[in-house]
Structure 1
Amino acid sequence: MNKRFLIAVMILSFVFRTAYPGTTGKISGRIIDADTNEPIIGANIYLENTDFGAVSDADGNYFIINVSPGTYNLVCSFIGYEKITYTGITVNVDRTTSVDFNIRPETIQGKEVVVVGERKIIEMDRTSTAAYVSSEKIETMPVQEVDDLIQLQTGVVKDASGEFHIRGGRAGEIAYLIDGVPVTDQYNGGSSVGLENNWVQELQVISGTFNAEYGQAQSGIVNIITKEGAKKFSGRFSVSLGDY
């Protein structure tokens, strides 16, 4: 009984194998360091534009099974090493295609990381009160001159004669700077240099206590940072109408 059963199983196995031959192939190989000849552990090997792939083991060996017959591009990648692609790799049914990789170390070029810095609500190392107006903000404000920007800042008052006063101080107690260079008019206490709004990169108005580096100022400081030159010429044209 046992012999008959064994013979029947062998016959069925032979028929089954004949009726359903292998339909896939296999790719195998080894990943080694080209400089040290040491095996690379954990390298990624995959067939481009497919879901087939493998990871090299402790000896650097890898196996990709159940690959349909055809021609593929085989890619090997590992962190810190060059990425290699072998094109035209042919896979046949019931055959093992052997592909080895010798990869070399490569400098890692990471992606650019953009860190957005925001001004802290409370700056522990600053004792003065300061207002900052950027060029982007200036473009959205209903102003025509730099004086209009200064007048809109907290603690700044413009009298009937057109002179500024910061926190009740006199007009001559304000220091004006452009790119860090003093431009205070010694006769009337105002700025001796006029600028257009589109020249300003940032406007800084410091009131109250401020660092001794500025000097010659008692009530406030107006510091204007101008834009840098560009490779292309550009300009602005504006028209304003009013009824006086």
Structure 2
Amino acid sequence: KKGKYLYKLLFLILLSTFALPALGQNNGKISGLVVDADFGEPLVGVNVIIQNTLLGAATSLDGKFTILQLPPGNYTLEVSMIGYAKQIIEGVSVKSNETTHVEVILKPELLETEEVVVVAKAVMNTEASLLSKRQKSIEVSDAISSEQFEKTGSSNAADAVKQIVGATVVNGKDVFVRGLGDKYTSTNLNGAQIPSADPYKRSGSIDIIPSNLIDNIQVVKSFTPDKPGDFSGGAVNVKTKDFPDRLDISFSSSAKYNSQVTFNDNGLGYYGSHTDWLGFDDGTRALPPEIGSDTWTANVGAGQRDDHLAQKIDEVTKSFNPQMTPFRSAAPINQSYALSIGNQYELFGKQVGLIGSLTYKNQHSGYIEGQLNRWDRGVADPGKTQLDTNFAMSDTRSVSEVVLGGLFKASMNFDQANTVSFNFLYNRNAESTARFVNGKYPYDIDASWNYQARTLLY
């Protein structure tokens, strides 16, 4: 049932990104970015007017603007702001149902006027603005923007974080800051902490967030009073885009080969549920209904004298899943898939942005005929120099991991200073382990006996 919610969410995203923009009929739009020529920082409140018309827009806090509902044709833009030289851009072509992107660089112009104080929230969306933010910040931090993603070809947030100094990605999804473990690192999406699907880990996985939906990633390495009380080693914040410039659909897939277990018939496996490939159990591993929800203890001694109790014990015993040992099985090739969609449109005269993604991974790892050994000197004879064997085992282990993730964000821009966003993140991680240990255990049993242990873990 849980998997069905993701399919409904995907249908909603597809409906929003394809159907709703059709309300704009065959008109096009112009969007762009206005920055300062000297510092490369976005300019707020720049007037962008289509010459000889009343159509236009003003840049937002991040220096971006969008002029909607334009009939196809060629236009001339007039870009102006107090303190900067006016700029005229001719021959801006608008096509039906397409977005024309324009980047404008304004040069400062000397102008004497009264003091003007502008209060605005800094938005980090370019390498220049991120660098400026770091220079003025009182905290030790580092960041990377979407401009850098395009240069390096990072496919998701985990790949992008690898480029930040002091940040390390373990197992392709867990972030360590300055070498500290994941229990000292918190991961956030747009300022809200990402929950971990693993109860033994604090930081959530960020490999389910595609890079084409990300605006920037910031890693904070020192504590300041504005940070949460549980801040310890570091914090990673992934900031996603609010309003994509145009309809953006991306699909990627990958396959990997593990030389230890892929297509190796000496690997291990067991019969799980029919929905293991989706990351959840369909009830196969649940306690049998004969036991119920309460703890049930079998009185074997009394059952020897009570035929009815003996029959009950026999029924309960046989109701359990008979799968108690792994069998030899070859692991398939590792595979992953990611689909992301982003678009913006006009609703009730307001700019609305939608982004969404679905991520699926099925990975297999392990080892075959490894060694699990232990020796010690013992405590009975402190002067003893020879080590005694506690155990010497042959160890085979196969692990199957399924990751299922979904992301959805809806944003509405009410005016230059107010944008409301809704974020939804779904993260499911399931791990199935089969293990077989075989060898000698002279520490606890006779050295001539053979010791075996089998493990099925989900």
> What TM-score comes out, normalization by structure 2 length?
0.26
Q: Which is higher, the Rg of structure 1 or of structure 2?
A: 1
Q: Which has the higher strand share?
A: 2
Bigger RCO of structures 1 and 2 (CA < 8 A, at least 6 apart): 1
